[in-house]
Amino acid sequence: MALKLAISGKGGVGKSTIAGVFAHLAVADGFRVLAIDADPDANLAAALGMSEAQRRRIVPLAERRALIEQRTGAKVRQYGQVFKLNPDVADIAEKESTEFRGVHLLVLGAIESGGSGCACPESVLLRSLLMDVVLYKEDCVILDFEAGLEHLGRATAQGVDLMLVVVEPGRRSIETAGNICRMASEIGIGRVAIVGNKVRNENDRVFLEVSLAAEDYLGGLSFSETICRADRENLALVDIMEAPLAAQFREVWEKVKARIAR
């Protein structure tokens, strides 16, 4: 089945870590996986376990000036131009992604010109690309977003099967999650679920269960020093995490698939 999952949350909550593990689990389940890093503070390549040398070779699409100008017919960072609002992007995911252990990774990068949602060639290309992969590709697509959803237009949002919001056991994280859920609803994402992360003890677990609606909450992932080790040593967390944490990730992943399937 096609599966389109968007993951968002307050900065530092661990959404890239979760997206990376889910991408590897999806490959293990037989999916063809396209992972898209739509967070300007791009960390998904590291979360997947790519080495520093491999990550340095990745050029974000927003910085691919020649590609942007070829597809949109406009010069980057020049004003007063006419450019294509529906550039041809159908081949970009296949041609420009970096393959790592069965996961095809695209890094979007930050738009440096204009403001949020600017009508610039870079923004038009990225939005068109997201629309193409979400609405028309028959893959498992995992989107790693920042707390805002600037890249995600209304038409594209309707193709997302589930928005998964990652929260920590803290009031500010819960409030950010509420804002993300509101934004998701406003742009047409019909299904939202929440997963807790960095749960250290029973107090954290109870706090999340009390603070979140039971029908939206898929469960919590425990804090683990193994996650810090994976980051320090450029390792794929899925390869080294202890059995209890692996079981928690698998349980949440299965709940995500079940939500989407029904």
Domain CATH number, residue 62: 3.40.50.300
- The predicted-structure confidence for 20-46, as pLDDT tens digits, reads as follows 999 999 999 999 999 999 888 889 999
Average pLDDT over residues 98-106: 97
High-pLDDT (> 70) share of the chain, % = 91
Contact between residue 194 and residue 218 where contact means Cβ atoms under 8 Å apart: yes
Most confident of 1-5, 13-17, 39-43, 125-129: 13-17
User: Is the model's pLDDT at 94 over the cut of 80?
Assistant: yes
Task: Provide the number of structural domains found in the chain.
Answer: 1
Contacts 24+ apart (CB under 8 A), 238-244: 238/20, 238/21, 238/24, 238/25, 238/49, 239/49
> So what's the pLDDT on residue 203?
97
pTM (predicted TM-score): 0.91
3-class DSSP assignment, residue 200? coil
In which band, very low, low, confident or very high, does the pLDDT at 81 lie, cut at 50, 70 and 90? low
**Cα–Cα–Cα angle for 252, 145, 74, rounded to 5 degrees:** 150
Q: Which of 53-57, 82-86, 153-157, 232-236 has the lowest mean pLDDT?
A: 82-86
Average pLDDT over residues 221-235: 94
Q: Which ranges of the chain would DSSP assign to H, the alpha helix?
A: 15-28, 44-48, 52-56, 65-72, 92-96, 121-136, 154-157, 171-186, 202-211, 225-232, 237-240, 243-261
Contact between residue 50 and residue 43 where contact means Cβ atoms under 8 Å apart: no
Residue corresponding to tokens 């406009």: 74
In which band, very low, low, confident or very high, does the pLDDT at 80 lie, cut at 50, 70 and 90? low
Amino acid at 256: V
Average pLDDT over residues 88-105: 94
Q: Which range of residues forms the domain containing residue 40? A: 3-261
User: Is the model's pLDDT at 115 over the cut of 80?
Assistant: no
Task: Count Cβ atoms below 10 Å from residue 231 Cβ, excluding itself.
Answer: 14
